[in-house]
């Protein structure tokens, strides 16, 4: 028995160097979730390698490197097909619909066909590696058709489980997707389909029923976690300790609010900026005493809607800084780039409040990461009720991200919260983060699929 983890991309970026190819591990929810189980559960990772023009000889080198260095199997996709599938279908059609943003979606048969072909190529590659007794763990919306393709093509005796890292919308939202039957049928051929919450599982079941698709698969809610000790370890390093001191000194005498997100419209960052603006207007006694640091990691920069979204954020930040307080005041610091892991941990630890205002979010691991970095400061988590993490972190201050007044009042409550209450809330959230880890998440998925996997896969 072996475990094959299948995702849209391998957790690697590849660059051509003077002495061959250079490999760098990437980050992200799935990578974070699986990184910490690498020392506990034996698995092979299969995914797309994109962004580099390669000849056949170079592909052979990468195949060898990926297998020997990373226990991974690369899938090479034609650049045009990759663009039509990833940008044209996954990001322009599937992503907004599964997040219930259906109004601006325009279905095109070309991009849908690219999605089908993309899944077929993955199917062929997985079948090459499949053996009797194997477990195939398919991840996320890029590969929703893959389980059915595998079941129909391979004659091997194997099991498939599918995990959706995003929300799954209500049936009436899915009805707007022309290819909904094919998508849902693809997932339903898994032996186990798991989501972050039972609401998403119910929505999937309802969509199957509405489209006359028999549900034989087992459905479950298994929210993903993180490895909290990985963050706490970084906080103990001298470099990080010094950086935390620097950040606190830089904003001495001020409460530090923090936001960390991909620049994606589902994250509700404009709503957050407007809520902070309203907070400064409504509670002027805090002007000059509170600073808001927003890390906006660039996302899908080749998509027009995302670049205009970043421009909007810059405008909103400038508006707050220009309209409130003295001319030299900077209330919002908007950093539109990714930061190194140790810098991220330092920002988490130095801040007093984390703002998560997702309009809808499958989970939001940033909220869990923040809790793991707040053992000393007992910072307050202001969390959208529409983020999946709200079911895990029950002691967070919940807000409606569409309600500007609620965000403003939530910020004021978080800043003024007594240390005793901060400590109580933090301990409750910390316990949840420590119990529902990424390892626990992986083991619960495997337990839901079959018995006896530990004997073959545990290291």
Both 235 and 180 in one domain: the answer is no
With 90 as the cut, is the pLDDT of residue 356 above it?
A: yes
Does a structural domain hold residue 198?
A: yes
Both 180 and 236 in one domain: the answer is no
The pairing of strands 380-384 and 353-356 is: parallel
Least confidently predicted of 33-42, 95-104, 133-142, 172-181: 33-42
Tell me which of 92 and 325 has the higher pLDDT. 92
**Residues 21, 14: contact at Cβ < 8 Å?**
yes
- Mean pLDDT value of segment 180-203: 97
**Residues 48, 10: contact at Cβ < 8 Å?**
yes
Query: Taking the CB of residue 63, how many other CB atoms lie within 10 A of it?
Result: 15
Domain range for 122: 3-221
Does a structural domain hold residue 457?
A: no
Both 251 and 217 in one domain: the answer is no
Tell me which of 340 and 16 has the higher pLDDT. 340
Nearest C-alpha neighbor of 304 from the set 146, 88, 53, 127: 88
Does a structural domain hold residue 443?
A: no
Both 183 and 282 in one domain: the answer is no
Both 60 and 188 in one domain: the answer is yes
User: What does the mean pLDDT of the chain come to?
Assistant: 93
Both 132 and 239 in one domain: the answer is no
Least confidently predicted of 60-74, 179-193, 393-407: 60-74
Point out the domain boundary residue: 176, 191, 221: 221
- Mean pLDDT value of segment 387-409: 97
Both 239 and 351 in one domain: the answer is yes
Both 297 and 359 in one domain: the answer is yes
Residues 363-388 pLDDT 10s: 999 999 999 999 999 999 999 999 99
Both 211 and 96 in one domain: the answer is yes
Both 271 and 201 in one domain: the answer is no
How many CA atoms, within 13 angstroms, populate the side-chain half-sphere of residue 326?
Answer: 4
Number of domains in the chain: 2
Residues 143-185 pLDDT 10s: 999 999 999 999 999 999 999 999 999 999 999 999 999 999 9
CA geometry: angle at 424 spanning 285 and 369, to 5°? Answer: 85
Residues 22-55 pLDDT 10s: 888 776 667 777 777 877 888 999 999 876 678 8
- Mean pLDDT value of segment 340-356: 97
Both 179 and 256 in one domain: the answer is no
Question: Look-up: residue for tokens 């991200």?
Answer: 401
Between CA 330 and CA 320 the distance in angstroms is: 8
Ramachandran class of 237: left when φ > 0, alpha when ψ lies in -120 to 50, beta otherwise: beta
Q: Best-predicted range by mean pLDDT among 260-264, 303-307, 345-349?
A: 345-349
The pairing of strands 159-163 and 192-195 is: parallel
Both 164 and 239 in one domain: the answer is no
What's this model's pTM, rounded to 2 decimal places? 0.94
Does a structural domain hold residue 445?
A: no
């Amino acid at each position: 028995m072996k475990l094959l983890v299948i995702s849209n991309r391998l957790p690697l970026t590849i660059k051509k160097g003077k002495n061959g190819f250079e490999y760098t591990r990437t980050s992200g929810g799935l990578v974070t979730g699986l990184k910490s189980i690498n020392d506990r559960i034996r698995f092979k990772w299969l995914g797309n390698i994109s962004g580099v023009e390669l000849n056949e000889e170079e592909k052979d080198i990468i195949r060898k490197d990926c297998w020997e260095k990373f226990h991974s199997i690369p899938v090479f996709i034609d650049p045009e097909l990759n663009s039509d599938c990833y940008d044209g279908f996954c990001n322009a059609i599937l992503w907004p619909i599964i997040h219930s943003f259906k109004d601006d979606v325009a279905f095109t048969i070309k991009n849908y066909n690219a999605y089908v072909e993309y899944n077929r190529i993955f199917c062929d590659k997985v079948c090459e590696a499949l053996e009797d007794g194997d477990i195939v763990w398919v991840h996320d919306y890029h590969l929703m058709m893959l389980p059915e393709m595998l079941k129909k093509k391979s004659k091997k005796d194997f099991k498939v489980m599918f995990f959706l890292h995003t929300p799954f919308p209500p049936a009436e939202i899915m009805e707007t997707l022309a290819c909904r039957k094919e998508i849902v049928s693809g997932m339903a051929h898994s032996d186990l389909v798991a989501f972050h919450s039972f609401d998403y599982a119910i929505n999937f079941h309802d969509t199957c029923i509405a489209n006359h698709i028999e549900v034989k698969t087992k459905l479950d809610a298994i929210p993903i976690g993180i490895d909290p000790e990985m963050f706490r370890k970084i906080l103990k390093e001298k470099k990080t300790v010094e950086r935390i001191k620097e950040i606190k000194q830089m904003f001495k005498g001020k409460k530090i609010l923090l936001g960390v997100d991909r620049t994606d419209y589902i994250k509700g960052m404009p709503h957050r900026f407007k809520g902070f603006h309203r907070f400064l207007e409504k509670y002027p006694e805090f002007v000059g005493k509170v600073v808001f640091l927003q890390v906006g990691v660039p996302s899908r920069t080749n998509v027009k809607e995302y670049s205009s979204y970043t421009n909007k954020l810059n405008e909103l930040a400038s508006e707050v800084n220009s309209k409130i307080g003295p001319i030299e005041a900077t209330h919002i610091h908007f950093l539109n780039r990714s930061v190194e892991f140790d810098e991220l941990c330092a920002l988490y630890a130095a801040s007093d409040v984390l703002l998560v205002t997702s309009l809808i979010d499958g989970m939001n691991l940033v909220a869990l990461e923040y809790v793991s970095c707040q053992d000393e400061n007992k910072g307050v988590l202001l969390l959208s009720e529409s983020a999946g993490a709200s079911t895990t972190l029950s002691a967070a201050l919940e807000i409606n991200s569409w309600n500007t007044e609620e965000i403003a009042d939530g910020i004021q409550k978080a800043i003024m919260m007594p240390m005793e209450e901060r400590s109580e809330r933090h301990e409750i959230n910390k316990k949840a983060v420590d119990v529902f880890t990424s390892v626990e998440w992986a083991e619960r998925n495997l337990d839901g699929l079959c018995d006896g996997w530990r004997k073959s896969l545990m290291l």
